[in-house]
Amino acid sequence: MPEKIALFRRRFIPNELTYLGEDEIISFDEETIKTKWKMLRPHEFYSGGESTYYRKKNLKVSAFFDKAGNFALWYVDIVRELGPEGLKVPSDCLLRKNTGDFLENIGSFKGTVIVYEDLLMDIAVKPNGLIEVLDLDEAIDAYETKLITKEMLHTAMYATNKYLATLYGRYKNTKDFTDPSFILPE
């Protein structure tokens, strides 16, 4: 029987913890976690997607799909993986999507708890090859207001820099920016 996994997303802006219990976990190993999901906050252009968490690289690479199921966008979150200690959040943290229910019954959960902290920096890659680095200002603001630590900011900066170097190195040899071989980390 496969191991049970409880997957969570911790955001700092806004301050929330979300149980991703509705996400379908496709695969799980020491290197990656692959999921399929529907949008938590629906968007007029996107309805859902597939994500791969690169557990040792501080990256979550997602393919977003439109309402018809067509590829729309690559979106890369810079993240940090924690275990159950990541569930210890401030009292003013909003608990979303049945998170409170899970936490009340955590003693009966037999499996692995994984919390991904969103380190605020993101990278979007559009099908035409446009690469956008997003939310650098949020990361600095979060550090200055003590929402994230210096270590977390450094982790985010180094992961973003390393991953962008990979993308830029592939850019001139790529004709199809929707091809996963362009977006996948080394």
Model confidence pLDDT, tens digit, residues 8-43: 999 999 999 999 999 999 999 999 999 999 886 767
Q: For residue 120, give both structure tokens.
A: 């605020």
Query: At 2, is the pLDDT very low, low, confident or very high (cuts 50, 70, 90)?
Result: low
The first and second tokens of residue 76, run together, are 């890369």
The pLDDT value recorded for residue 46 is 85
Instruction: State the average pLDDT over residues 96-120.
Output: 93
Q: Which of 185, 151, 169 is nearest to 32 (CA)?
A: 185
Q: What pLDDT shows up at residue 38?
A: 87
Q: Any idea which of 16-20, 60-64, 67-71, 84-88 has the lowest mean pLDDT?
A: 67-71
pLDDT value of position 186: 84
Short-list 24, 19, 13, 10, CA closest to 97: 19
**Percent of the chain's residues with pLDDT above 90:** 88
In the chain, where the domains are located: 5-173+179-183
Q: Is the pLDDT of residue 1 over 50?
A: no
Local confidence band at 44 (pLDDT 50, 70, 90 cut-offs): confident
Helix (H) / strand (E) containing 166: helix 150-171
d(CA 168, CA 38): 30
Q: Note the pLDDT of residue 78.
A: 98
Highest mean pLDDT among 66-75, 95-104, 120-129: 120-129
Record the pTM. Answer: 0.93
pLDDT per residue over 50-59, tens digit each? 999 999 999 9
CATH topology for 5-173+179-183? FomD barrel-like fold (2.40.380)
